[in-house]
Amino acid sequence: MQLSDFDFQLPQALIAIRPITPRGDAKLLVCAGAHIQDAKAHDICSFLLPGDRLILNDTKVIPARLSGTRARLSKQGLAQAKIEVTLLDPLPSGKWNALVKPLRKLAVGETVVFSPSLSAVCTNKIDGLATLAFSLEGDALDAALDVNGQMPLPPYIASKRAADVQDKTDYQTIWAKQRGAVAAPTASLHLDATALAGFEAHGVDISFVTLHVGAGTFLPVKVEDISSHKMHAEWGHVSAQTVAEIEATKAKGGRIIPVGTTALRLIETAAKTGTIHSFKGYTDIFIYPGFNFKVTDGLVTNFHLPKSTLLMLVAALIGKQQLDEIYAHAIENEYRFFSYGDASLLFPQ
């Protein structure tokens, strides 16, 4: 299939820049087979069966966007310039790969100061990224980021408004635990404590995986032949306990329903041999039409960007024709799109 097959006209007014409050009041489009139904996120249990199992991503978004200054001697004396940093990937050395603006103004060896207690030295520049060595490590760095950093909102929100204190709650799942993501598993933002209690009461089970969502999730596809697209790699972990829970659910005839494309990509990575196994490492799995799903029976997901790999993943699960019908329905009925937008619950025919 071609990239142009996944293009569509989206009214700008449907791009959500704030979430619906409370979370459960967001719209929920439910599609099972050819039937499309409008509901609310807090109704999701009505469409699940006792014995179904939801797979949730417990990654925690770090406040990865930092504003700092670098100082350099000039003919006029000590000159300071603003530097904007977005952390992307932690390295085994403890350093971070980061987007830096303006990168050309930051020299290798220079220090960026973010606060009296937090700074970083640029140790390398390659492929449009900088490698930064911070003055703090471990828990001390985490604490400093919480104080000095802002949530790394997606470009389509950040272009319309700056991140603020409210985003530190809004752009985080209520069960977030494992720090490391620079983007949220946004389908899960619709679920609150009431929803989790409802799943338990309804007999719907929950398992957790960890996939640290990277900023690469927002990178555009630049090739017309989508089969030649190379996905960004993200670190994930599927535990032996989660594998056992998935196998037990399957054995009893229950359905496996990941909440979000991140959870789906990870469990399908762990099952790429045909049988699911525990997994820890990096995955760059690219799911597009023609993919053979080994584990997934349904999906909870938001409404995605035109020409995005996320849109291709949804088409792989439910079919391109059904995808087009769902998105036409969502636009006609003014569903809200992207990270802070509305949700869908999708089952393939």
Mean pLDDT of 126-152: 94
Mean pLDDT of 73-96: 85
- If asked whether residues 268 and 296 sit together in one domain, one would say yes
- If asked whether residues 227 and 103 sit together in one domain, one would say no
Contact 209, 58 (CB under 8 A): yes
160-175 per-position pLDDT tens digit: 998 999 999 999 999 9
So what's the pLDDT on residue 9? 95
- If asked whether residues 280 and 294 sit together in one domain, one would say yes
The residue written with tokens 């006029």 in the block is 76
So what's the pLDDT on residue 104? 92
- If asked whether residues 130 and 267 sit together in one domain, one would say no
So what's the pLDDT on residue 102? 93
> 275: closest CA among 295, 297, 298, 251?
295
Tell me the C-alpha to C-alpha distance, in Å, between residue 79 and each of 76, 83, 345: 8, 13, 54
Element (H or E) spanning 337, and its range? Answer: none
- If asked whether residues 69 and 195 sit together in one domain, one would say no
> 19: closest CA among 187, 145, 140?
187
So what's the pLDDT on residue 76? 73
Cβ neighbours of 164 (radius 10 Å): 11
Can you spell out the DSSP letters for 93-123?
Answer: TS-EEEEEETGGGPPTT-EEEEETTEEEEEE
So what's the pLDDT on residue 200? 96
pLDDT, averaged across the chain: 94
So what's the pLDDT on residue 164? 92
27-66 per-position pLDDT tens digit: 999 999 889 999 999 999 999 999 999 999 999 999 999 9
So what's the pLDDT on residue 216? 74
Contacts of 255 (CB under 8 A, 6+ apart): 49, 51, 52, 53, 249, 297, 298
Number of domains in the chain: 2
Residue 70 forms part of a structural domain? yes
Residue 160 forms part of a structural domain? no
Distance CA 321, CA 4 (A): 14
Strands 256-258 vs 53-57: parallel, antiparallel or unpaired:
parallel
Is the predicted pLDDT of residue 80 greater than 80, yes or no? yes
Last residue of a domain, one of 94, 115, 148: 148
Q: Which two tokens stand for residue 339?
A: 């990270």
**pLDDT tier, 298 (very low <50, low <70, confident <90, very high otherwise):** very high
- If asked whether residues 127 and 240 sit together in one domain, one would say no
- If asked whether residues 98 and 213 sit together in one domain, one would say no
Residue 304 forms part of a structural domain? yes
Q: Which two tokens stand for residue 229?
A: 């697209």
Question: What CATH number did the domain enclosing 253 receive?
Answer: 3.40.1780.10
Least confident of 191-195, 229-233, 306-310: 229-233
Task: Give the domain extent around 184.
Answer: 3-61+168-347
